[in-house]
């Protein structure tokens, strides 16, 4: 069973929701965050990426960054921008980008179920990034960014949500990137009980995005248990901020690659090397592949299609059969020398939302030698990997639209 817990969110008053809501901390760097914020004192980036308020950054102590984040959160509450609901609630969070719309349930997910594997992961975390989130959550005393979770759709849950969203929403705005955000507060006890009972029948949930946030929440919970004279699963630290979406509503986009050089090879030698494992079609007007095991490659101002020779593929392996794995194992690693894509500075990853034009721009600028477009990893592939207790290669999935931070904060 999946346990979900209503909670008293710290959240913006309706008139401030659009100003407060901000992109996730990990999709913008400090310079981009400063540009987004400008002179706006309400943006939640002052909490999620508080180094923007420290002129001496990066030459500042980490503890100063986290102390500033807590100070900024308390100021938003003290200035009556944020308030805490009087009683525990669930929340419905809708996002619409173009013709795509998804409805998620904002809840407290169970740390214990994450620890026991009922909430499944498909990605390894980096120790440095995880530690940064641990320190942030612990110092601020709050989970400020949600974990994006999916589950196999339930007609019962869909029906409950459909009923809720017939009522007037609490928030409704369109962000600067064109994504429409809408949210409803679920405070009615009967509806809360119905959702809780419906999720008790869900056999497993899957982290789609936010592995570092989930891992940090679990680490902070363990720290708090050790200090708590009467630890209990009802403590706020035993749940973490999550938004739960049915699997048929979320959208995974392609996550593409660009490499700065050809590892000492001339273009013709490079093409000869990769032809051992890939059939090369000399033109590719589509630029973005439509079939698994096809890849687009942009080199010297020209698109080519690469088709993997399937006789090289290990059968019945949910990780090695992924397109991201094939590209890494048969091309990026052995030919271009990218042994560890997590740490190699010669490779960059480009979310599909930026389009094929961004791949062309990177190569045409001379900063990169070659770029590759991939089919998007599918949700069944993600679930198969997670169900097998395996992990995907880094940068396998790009979810769009991104959840905004600041609309719901879980105090611990």
Tokens of 216: 């940090």
191 and 298 fall within a common domain: no
Q: Is residue 383 a part of any domain in this protein?
A: no
122 and 267 fall within a common domain: no
Q: Is residue 384 a part of any domain in this protein?
A: no
- Residue 289 near residue 296, CB atoms below 8 Å: yes
Question: CA-to-CA distance for 302 and 316, rounded, in angstroms?
Answer: 34
239 and 198 fall within a common domain: yes
- Residue 290 near residue 375, CB atoms below 8 Å: yes
Q: What is the pLDDT at residue 310?
A: 80
Q: What is the pLDDT at residue 312?
A: 59
238 and 264 fall within a common domain: no
- Say yes or no to pLDDT of 26 above 70: yes
CA 46 to chain centre: 20
Name 246's bridge partners.
151
pLDDT tens digits, 43-66: 999 999 999 999 999 999 999 999
Q: Is residue 393 a part of any domain in this protein?
A: no
Q: What is the pLDDT at residue 76?
A: 98
**Which residues, 6 or more positions from 401, have their beta carbon under 8 angstroms from its beta carbon?**
95, 97, 100, 102, 177, 179
Can you tell me which residue has the tokens 């998007």? 376
pLDDT tens digits, 256-314: 999 999 999 999 999 999 999 999 999 999 999 999 999 999 999 999 999 998 865 66
43 and 168 fall within a common domain: yes
The reply to whether omega before 364 is within 30° of 0 (cis) is no
Q: What is the pLDDT at residue 314?
A: 62
Q: What is the pLDDT at residue 27?
A: 86
Q: Is residue 390 a part of any domain in this protein?
A: no
Q: Is residue 182 a part of any domain in this protein?
A: yes
Global pTM value: 0.90
- Residue 185 near residue 165, CB atoms below 8 Å: no
Q: What is the pLDDT at residue 132?
A: 95
Domain count, the chain: 2
404 and 353 fall within a common domain: no
Tokens of 274: 């990769």
Alpha-carbon torsion angle 5, 11, 15, 17, nearest 10: -90
Per the document, the length of the chain is 412
Residue 394 confidence class, pLDDT cut points 50, 70, 90? confident
DSSP 285-341: TT-S--STTEEEEEETTEEEEEEE-GGGSPTT-TTTTSHHHHHIIIIITTTT--S-T
89 and 223 fall within a common domain: yes
Q: What is the pLDDT at residue 316?
A: 75
Domain that holds residue 11: 4-251+400-411
The reply to whether omega before 58 is within 30° of 0 (cis) is yes
Average pLDDT of the chain?
Answer: 95
Q: What is the pLDDT at residue 261?
A: 98
Give me the mean pLDDT over the 97-109 stretch. Answer: 97
Q: What is the pLDDT at residue 127?
A: 87
Q: Is residue 260 a part of any domain in this protein?
A: yes
Give me the mean pLDDT over the 204-217 stretch. Answer: 96
The angle at the Cα of 176, spanning 175 to 179, to the nearest 5 degrees, equals: 45
163 and 269 fall within a common domain: no
Give me the mean pLDDT over the 99-107 stretch. Answer: 97
The angle at the Cα of 130, spanning 128 to 134, to the nearest 5 degrees, equals: 115
- Say yes or no to pLDDT of 347 above 80: yes
| φ and ψ at residue 46, rounded to 5 degrees | -65, -20
Dihedral sign, Cα of residue 347, residue 298, residue 398, residue 313 = negative
157 and 227 fall within a common domain: yes
- Say yes or no to pLDDT of 141 above 80: yes
CATH of residue 264: 3.30.1760
Q: Is residue 109 a part of any domain in this protein?
A: yes
| φ and ψ at residue 289, rounded to 5 degrees | -70, 150
- Say yes or no to pLDDT of 388 above 80: yes
Q: Is residue 385 a part of any domain in this protein?
A: no
Q: What is the pLDDT at residue 166?
A: 98
229 and 328 fall within a common domain: no
44 and 177 fall within a common domain: yes
């Amino acid at each position: 069973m999946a346990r979900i817990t209503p909670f008293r969110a710290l959240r913006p008053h309706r008139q401030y929701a659009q100003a407060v809501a901000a992109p996730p901390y990990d999709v913008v760097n400090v310079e981009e965050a400063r540009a987004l914020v400008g002179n706006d004192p309400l943006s939640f980036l002052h909490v999620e990426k508080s180094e923007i308020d420290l002129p001496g950054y990066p030459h500042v102590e980490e503890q100063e960054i986290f102390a500033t984040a807590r100070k900024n959160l308390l100021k938003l509450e003290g200035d009556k921008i944020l308030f805490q609901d009087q009683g525990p609630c669930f929340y419905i969070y809708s996002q619409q980008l173009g013709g795509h719309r998804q409805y998620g349930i904002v809840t407290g997910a169970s740390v214990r179920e994450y620890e026991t594997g009922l909430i499944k992961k498909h990605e390894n975390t980096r120790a440095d990034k995880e530690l940064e989130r641990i320190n942030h959550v612990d110092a601020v005393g709050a989970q400020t960014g949600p974990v994006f979770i999916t589950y196999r759709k339930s007609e019962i849950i869909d029906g409950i949500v459909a009923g809720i969203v017939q009522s007037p929403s609490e928030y409704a705005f369109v962000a600067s990137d064109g994504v429409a955000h809408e949210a409803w507060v679920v405070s009615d006890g009967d509806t809360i009980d119905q959702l809780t009972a419906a999720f008790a029948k869900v056999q497993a949930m899957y982290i789609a995005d936010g592995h570092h946030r989930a891992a940090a929440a679990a680490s902070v919970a363990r720290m708090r248990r050790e200090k708590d004279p009467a630890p209990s699963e009802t403590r706020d630290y035993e749940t973490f901020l999550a938004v739960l979406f049915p699997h048929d509503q979320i959208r995974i986009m392609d996550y593409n690659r660009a490499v700065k050089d050809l590892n000492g090879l001339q273009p013709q030698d490079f093409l000869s090397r990769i032809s051992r494992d890939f059939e090369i079609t000399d033109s590719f007007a589509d630029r973005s592949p439509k079939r698994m095991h096809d890849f687009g490659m942009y080199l010297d101002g020209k698109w080519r299609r690469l088709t993997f020779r399937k006789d090289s593929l290990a059968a019945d392996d949910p990780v090695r059969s992924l397109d991201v794995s094939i590209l890494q194992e048969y091309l990026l690693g052995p030919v271009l020398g990218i042994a560890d894509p997590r740490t190699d500075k010669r490779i960059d990853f480009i979310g599909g939302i930026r389009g094929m034009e961004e791949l062309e721009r990177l190569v045409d600028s001379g900063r990169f030698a070659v770029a590759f477009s991939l089919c998007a990893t599918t949700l069944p592939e993600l679930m198969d990997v997670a169900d097998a207790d395996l992990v995907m290669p880094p940068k396998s999935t790009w979810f769009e639209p991104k959840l905004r931070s600041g609309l719901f904060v879980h105090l611990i």
